Amino acid sequence: MELFSEIYNCYYQVMRHLLSSREALTIPDINAQIYKEGFAESLLSIIPKIKNSSWNLFKKDGELYLSRISPSFLMPLSDLEKSYLKALLSDKRIRLFLDTKRLERLNQMLSGVSPLWKPEQFIYYDRFDGGDPFDSIKYQKHFSTLLHAVKKKQYVEIDYTAPNGNRVHHYYIPARLEYSVKNDKFRLLALKQTKDGKMTLETLNVARMDHVCLTEKSLSADIDLNEIIRGSYYKEPATLRIEDRRNALERAMLHFANYEKNTKKIGENTYECLIYYNQNMETELLIEVLSFGPMLTVTGNKQFLEKVKERLKKQKLGMPVGDRVF
């Protein structure tokens, strides 16, 4: 079972689409498909092969190219893919996607296949306790409704108990279901229309939803979620100076991988990393920065820097033993 195999090559994907076309194609049509799906320089490799028939997969009729194969071409699954699906069947979250009937059918079709891995072979040693109740029927139902709503851009009515105990009832447009690997929880990235017609982004824990109901209304316009996320960032990013000692650069790059950031080298062994964040991310970012200790220095923005200093001042006051000399 090869993971790196030509059958998964990007060119094969491009060609599958071209060959599945019922219409004869022109070179500009082919160019457009390669441009859309291929790598930046794939045109240079693919076009000559098609033109000179080294890949004799089209019938040429003047300037037109007609596929030689059936438009309903479907690639069978490889053993690797079957083995992957078999492994997913043992995952605790699979019930969120497949009902009993589908689970049994898929299991039956994969009866002779060994799973690529078993859940007990992986230990997520720093995953927090208290993940979502994936086995709960109510949770599965809510998840399924939200999944449908995200796909169809359909408004949902949600009753929700916030962490502070406040109950909220509102209409939302579900934008994405966000999964946190660390917390083993799903959250809904939901858009809420304000009175002045603007869209604001809210994050709701799926496990805290008391009631989720689809409405008839759907959103026809395309919403650029990333623009809304970026719009929520503070204007000035947090600026970190990283001294590359004790492998700090690599650790920082991994640790802050889920933030929008820009890193550059500013000295022999020193790097500057700008991290973009919003109010919701601030506390998590702050404690992540503190976890690096003196390997990393916050140099801006002022507000974030003050928060770091505030914690350190509090620490010094609360534990004078911090002045111990070794």
Partner 1 sequence: MSDFHELIKNFSKTRGYVRDFFVYGFKTRNEFTEKSPRTYDNERRRLESWLSPYVRRDYTQNGANISLAIDSNLLDTNPLFQVWKTKSFTDNDIMLHFLLLDVLKNSRPLTAEEITDCLLSKYETLFDIQTVRRKCNSYAGEGLLNKSREGKAVVFSLDTTLADWLKANEAVLDACTFYQMAEAFGIIGNYISGQYDYPNRIFRVKHSFFVHTLEDEILLGLLNAMNKKLSVRLEMKSSRRGTINTACCVPLKIFASTRSGRRFLCGYVMKSRRFTCFRLDTIRHIIPEKEAPGYNKLLQMLNRNQCYLWGVSFHSDSGRHLEKLAMTLHVIEPEEDYIIDRLKREGRGGTVTKTGADTYRYETEVFDCNEMLPWIRTFTGRILSLTCTDRLVEQRFYQDLQAMYQMYHIM
DSSP one-letter string for 197-255: S-EEEEEEEGGGEEEEEEEEEE--S---HHHHHHHHS-SSPEEEEEE--TTHHHHHHHH
Which residue, 27 or 77, is less far from partner 1 as judged by CB? 77
Please state the closest distance from residue 248 (CB atom) to partner 1, in A.
Answer: 11
| Residue placing its CB nearer to partner 1 in the complex, 198 or 265 | 265
In the complex, minimum distance from the CB of residue 116 to partner 1, in angstroms, rounded to a whole number = 6
Closest contact distance (angstroms) between CB of 65 and partner 1 is 14
CB of 99 to partner 1, least distance (A): 8
Q: Which is nearer to partner 1, 41 or 196 (CB)?
A: 41
> Can you tell me the distance from the alpha carbon of 289 to that of 255, in angstroms, rounded to the nearest whole number?
9
Residue closer to partner 1 (CB basis): 16 or 170: 16
**Measured between alpha carbons, how far apart are the two ends of the chain, in Å?**
56
Residue 132 DSSP symbol:
-
Nearer to partner 1, 135 or 169 (CB): 135
- Least distance from C-beta 183 to partner 1, angstroms? 8
Cα distance between residue 281 and residue 54, in whole Å: 54
CB of 196 to partner 1, least distance (A): 26
Decide: helix, strand or coil at residue 262: strand
Name the token pair of 79: 């053993």
Alpha carbon 7 to its chain centroid, in Å, reads: 25
Amino acid at 14: V
Full DSSP string of 30-63: HHHHHHHHS-TTHHHHHHHHHHTTSS--EEEETT
- Which C-beta is closer to partner 1: that of 169 or that of 230? 230
